[in-house]
Structure 1
Amino acid sequence: MKDILAEIVAHKQVEVAARKQVRSIAELEQAPAFKRTPLSLSSFLKDPAKTGIIAEFKRRSPSKGLINGNVTVQEVTTAYTRYGASGLSVLTDEKYFGGSADDLQQARSFNNIPILRKDFMIDEYQIIEAKAIGADVILLIAECLSAAEVARLAQFANNLGLEVLMEVHGESQLEKATQHVQMVGVNNRDLTTFKVNFNRSCELAPKIPADKCKVAESGISDPAAIATLKQAGFQGFLIGEHFMRQENPARAFEQFVADVKAAEKVS
């Protein structure tokens, strides 16, 4: 099967080079959001009063095509916040996921919880851009970055006050987690084939460095799975497609949270 991740990264290099010509770093640094103090997602994930869920706004994906084209950023993200999301994840990749910087800026204007810029980060310019549009956290995908690149980009992000979620797909990638990485996410979806293996999170959990906040990503659709993942040591749960593919993502999230709470009372 074609390596989708390699294709996306190659396109991202061209895209970022083009954006640098349109908007300078100096201009980004003048954006009002650049001056705000970012929120700490790792702290929100550890807050027992919240769900630990990082709820995602995603219109489409390379593997599924259009997921939901009928809902607005405002109605979905404000419901996520209202019903206890610990953070928001907003796709800003346009070509493959149908997202935009404007989606994140809208989410920021309506919500006061941490926001992850979900994109394929390969350049410091994107990190400056992330802060300028109101993000609090960036994603670094270990699969497409060398250890040196992760270290450089993570430190750069921290210097701007942003936290870093480093996403891994296998044990060998854990060694890329530096002191500037606050959270390690285990993606249950193989980014080259887009198939899901839910057991991956539980297998890798004990091997994630103890000082990192643990986040399980992708393939989580059963409220009972949250309890299992918590027992494995996870504090964060990145969920997007499950809510977004419902006709009413806001109501789906509300029901999911209610079911999680009910399952925890039983256990």
Structure 2
Amino acid sequence: MLSDLVAGALADAERRRAARPLELVEAAASDRSPALDALTALQPAERVKIIAEVKRASPSRGTLAEISDPASLAVSYETGGASAISVLTEERRFNGSLADLEAVRASVSLPVLRKDFIAEPYQVFEARAAGADIVLLIVAALDQSTLQSLFDLSTSLGMTTLVETHSADEVSRALDIGASLVGVNARNLSTFELDRDLFGALADQIPSGVIRVAESAVKTAADVAHYRASGADVVLVGEALVTSDPVATLEEFLVV
């Protein structure tokens, strides 16, 4: 599944590149206001922090919500107390777009994450051109050289990188490139099975000074509390927010 998602994302990026060459995207990226400081926004605090996700669909769950106005949803997230906004921009299986990201960026003052299957530089420049402050790099999708080069490019553009892991080896690889924001995804992106305890099994390998993000398998405040008790500084939440009253749900989750 992961290899198919990456291949599709690269094919879609190539289609966009044909209409908008790299040099135009680079120019648009340089014209953007500087990226917001996501590490400060997500730094550990007395209570858990939430990255709230604009997510229409997923390969495992199908359609979750129509979300005709992603900007309005993002404003609700900010109102509810989220510390950052994640926007799914993958087109084929998540029904997202860079237009969603641009709309969200224009509507909120929080750092915004481009959530996609990023595997080459064009996508990183696209992210900054669309206003992203954070980009996602998935360790399982990239060899170490590519992971490092995309991390370095993102950093050179002023963005923070959320480096996503699924195993002890991947956590080590994330730390080796200098990641300051490391996610552990409970969802295996090859099988799409969930293991809510994976975060707790890996958290101790992420040193102090590196922000720990728990991803996936969040339905209730009890799930957030479970991650918090396991050492999560930040929890990324998508489905639970787009299928409920986002403000009320965020307020409930943020009590943890």
After TM superposition, the score normalised by the length of structure 2 is 0.93
Q: Which runs of 5+ in 2 are unaligned?
A: none
Q: Quick check: 1:66 aligned with 2:63? A: yes
Contact 2:224 2:235 in 1 (8 A): yes
* Residue matched to 2:182: 184
Amino acid at match of 2:134: V
- Inter-CA distance 60–70: structure 2 relative to 1 (3 Å threshold): same
Q: Does 1:134 align with 2:131?
A: yes
Partner of 1:125: 122
In structure 1, the partner of 2:74 is 77
Query: Does the aligned pair in 1 maintain the 2:52–2:82 contact within 8 Å?
Result: yes
1:259 aligns with 2:252: yes
Residue identity matched to 1:242? A
Which position in structure 2 is the counterpart of 1:200?
A: 198
- What does residue range 162-241 of structure 1 map to in structure 2 within 5 Å? 162-177=159-174, 178-241=176-239
Secondary structure in 2 aligned to 1:237?
Answer: strand
Shift of 1:63: 1.2
Tell me the distance in 2 between the aligned counterparts of 1:32 and 1:138: 14
- Alignment counterpart, residue 89 of structure 1, candidates 82, 86, 89: 86
State the alpha-carbon separation in 2 of the partners of residues 244 and 261 from structure 1: 16
Counterpart Cα distance in 1 of 2:180 and 2:61: 30
Equivalent residue, structure 1, for 2:102: 105
* Contact 1:155-1:180 at 8 Å conserved across structures: no
1:189/1:219 contact within 8 Å kept: yes
CA spacing shift, 1:46–1:28, aligned 2, 3 Å = same
SS for the counterpart of 2:66 is coil
What pairs with 1:13-92 in structure 2 (closer than 5 Å)?
A: 13-31=10-28, 34-46=31-43, 48=45, 52-92=49-89
- Identical-residue share of aligned pairs (%): 32
CA contact (8 A) 2:32 2:131 kept: no
Letter in structure 1 aligned against 2:246: F
Stretch deviating more after TM superposition (18-27 or 149-158): 18-27
- Distance 1:47-1:211 versus aligned 2 partners, 3 A rule: closer
> Secondary structure at the residue paired with 1:201?
helix
Output the TM-score relative to the length of structure 1. 0.89
Contact 2:77–2:250 (CA under 8 A) maintained in structure 1: no
Distance 1:161 1:49 in 2: 27
| Matched positions, count | 255
Paired amino acid for 1:137: I
Cα RMSD (Å): 1.9
Contact 1:137 1:165 in 2 (8 A): yes
Distance 2:62 2:185 in 1: 19
**Structure 1: any 5+ residue segments left out of the alignment?**
247-251
Matched residues in 2 for 1:116 and 1:59: separation? Answer: 16
How far 1:141 moved relative to its partner? 0.5
Distance 1:80 1:148, change over 3 A: same
- Shift in Å, 1:225: 3.1
C-alpha distance in structure 2 between counterparts of 1:58 and 1:260, whole Å:
18
Where 2:13 maps in the other structure, the secondary structure is helix
Higher RCO (CA 8 Å, separation ≥ 6 residues): 2
SS of the aligned residue for 2:132 comes to coil
Off by >3 Å, runs of 4+ in structure 1: 47-51
Distance 1:108 1:51, change over 3 A: farther
Distance 1:70 1:130, change over 3 A: closer
1:87–1:115 Cα contact (<8 Å) kept: yes
Cα separation, 1, equivalents of 2:112 and 2:79? 15
